[in-house]
Amino acid sequence: MPQLRLTGRGLWITALIVPPLAFVALFVVYPIISAFAYAFFDWNGLLRGEFVGLDNFHTVLFVEPYASWTRNAFSHNIIVFFALMVLQNGLGFFLAYALWRELPGARFHRIAVFLPVVLSTIIVGYLFKLFLHPLFGVVNISLRGMGLGELAQPWLGQSSTALWALIAANAWHMVGFPTLVFLAGMQRIPTEMLDAVRMETRSEWVKITKIVWPLVAPSATVVFVLLFVGAFNWFELPYVMAGLDGSPFGSTDVLGLYFYRTAFGNVSSGQQDFGLGSALAVLIFLFIAAVAGVITVRLRAREIQL
């Protein structure tokens, strides 16, 4: 590679690098740094007030009613994360294992499992909202048609089922992503390694736990981290299916909705607080960064070098 001298080439490199750098600096790095700074000020609506130190953090964590809203939303995010871990990523691993055998039609199954992933969350949300309508939704209509009318219920209208309906919709939407990432990981396992295990055992379970899982750990790390970040950023699906206030009775409230409501105002209360919103954003951000870091380190440690 040629060395940089203070000639026309230096100018050329500058011209190549500065515009993209400016974009990322202005619209990614500056806003993220500012979000931290904003959390230390008192904002009434759109005007910045005085420096209040850690007051905003104290309010969202310890002062009622904010503290119980925070706890409620956070506990739902935890449920969503673990449920999707089993439903979406667990099923994804299982489907990848099934697709890996390249049985007849595997290509078609692969295309089908990824199709929902390319749809927008808004479309998926409304589609499932229509399906789950108490009267006109296909779910209840078919339950009644099968003589199981007593199982028909207002899925999104009652606290006991609403969050689970959203989780199911999300799993349907995204299961193709972990499936194909895991499948790509499995396809790179050397055949000799599998042959060696086959001599030792016929147990699928041993094969999965001793060979397949350790070897797809690099893929698993990425899939887990993305699921974690996604679960704690969850916004569009609950917004469309259940509403900005996490109805009914806050049973579908999550940190993403709570943060947006605090910052940009609740339809009913009309309140807008950039300081509290920023404090929430910073807390969510630090939590995501810390846990994602731990997942990465723990899973990477299990990885076997090929």
Partner 1 sequence: MSTVTSTYSDRPGLIATLGRDGLIQIILIANTFIMLAPIVIMMFSAFKTTPQIFASPFGIPDFTNLVNFSRIWTQTNFLQYLINSFVVTGASMALILTLGTMAAYALARYEFFGAGFILMFFIAGLTLPLKLAIIPLFMLMRDLGILNNQLSLIFVYTAMGLPTTIFIMTGFIRTLPNELEDAARMDGASEARIMWSIMLPLVRPAMVIAGIQNVVPIWNDFFFPLVFIQNDRLKTLPQGLTTFMGEYSTDYGVLYAGLTLSALPIIIIYIVLSRQFISGMTSGAIK
Window 37 to 76, contacts with partner 1 (CB under 8 A): 38, 46
SS3 state at 47? strand
Rounded-to-integer distance, Cα 299 and Cα 227, Å: 14
268 near partner 1, judged by CB under 8 A: no
Structure tokens at 196: 């060696």
Q: Assess 299 for contact with partner 1 (CB under 8 A).
A: no
- CA dist 208 and 223 (Å) reads 18
Contacts (CB under 8 A) with partner 1, residues 166-225: 172, 176-177, 180-181, 183-191, 194, 198, 202, 218-219, 222-223
Q: Which is nearer to partner 1, 39 or 162 (CB)?
A: 39
304 binds partner 1, rule: CB under 8 A: no
Cα–Cα dist 242/247, whole Å: 6
Q: Which stretch binds partner 1 (CB under 8 A): 61-69, 97-105, 148-156, 246-254?
A: 97-105
Query: Using the rule CB under 8 A, which residue among 132, 174, 281, 299 binds partner 1?
Result: 281
Residue type (1 letter), 170: N
Give the residue with the Cβ less far from partner 1, 138 or 304: 138
Give the helix/strand (H/E) hosting 291.
Answer: helix 274-302
Interface residue with partner 1 among 73, 80, 83, 99 (CB under 8 A) is 99
Least Å distance between CB 77 and partner 1? 13
| Residue among 82, 102, 196, 209 that touches partner 1 (CB under 8 A) | 102
Residue 14 CB, shortest distance to partner 1, in Å, is 9
Please choose, out of 70-78, 81-89, 156-164, 260-268, the segment that lies near partner 1 by the rule CB under 8 A. Answer: 260-268
- Count Cα atoms within 13 angstroms, Cβ side, for 170: 27
Radius of gyration of the chain (CA): 24
**Closest approach of partner 1 to the CB of residue 105, in Å:** 7
For residues 306 and 284, what is the distance between their CA atoms, to the nearest angstrom? 36
Residue 148 contacts partner 1 per CB under 8 A: no
Among 45, 136, 148, 159, binds partner 1 (CB under 8 A): 136
Q: Applying CB under 8 A, which of residues 65, 108, 268, 269 lies at the interface with partner 1?
A: 108
Q: How far is the CB of 286 from partner 1 (least distance, A)?
A: 10
Segment (H or E) for 43? strand 41-44
Site map 15..34 versus partner 1, x via CB under 8 A? -xx-xxx-xxxxxxxxxx-x
Using CB under 8 A, which of 78, 123, 151, 206 touches partner 1?
A: 123
Q: Which of 108, 149, 155, 109 is nearest to 130 (CA)?
A: 155
Hey, what are 143's tokens? 């339950």
Residue whose CB is less far from partner 1, 69 or 177: 177
| Token couple for 157 | 């209208």
Q: Which of 250, 292, 295, 303 binds partner 1 (CB under 8 A)?
A: 292
The residue within the footprint of partner 1, chosen from 61, 67, 79, 117 (CB under 8 A), is: 117
CA of 1: how far to CAs of 4, 6, 8, 302, in Å? 9, 16, 16, 38
- Cα 297 to Cα 239: distance, rounded to the nearest angstrom: 33
Going by the DSSP 8-state scheme, the letter that residue 40 receives in this structure is T
Closer residue to partner 1, CB minimum distance, 64 or 268: 268
Alpha-carbon gap, residue 118 to 231, rounded angstroms: 18
- Amino acid present at 251: S
Write down the least CB distance from residue 46 to partner 1, Å.
8
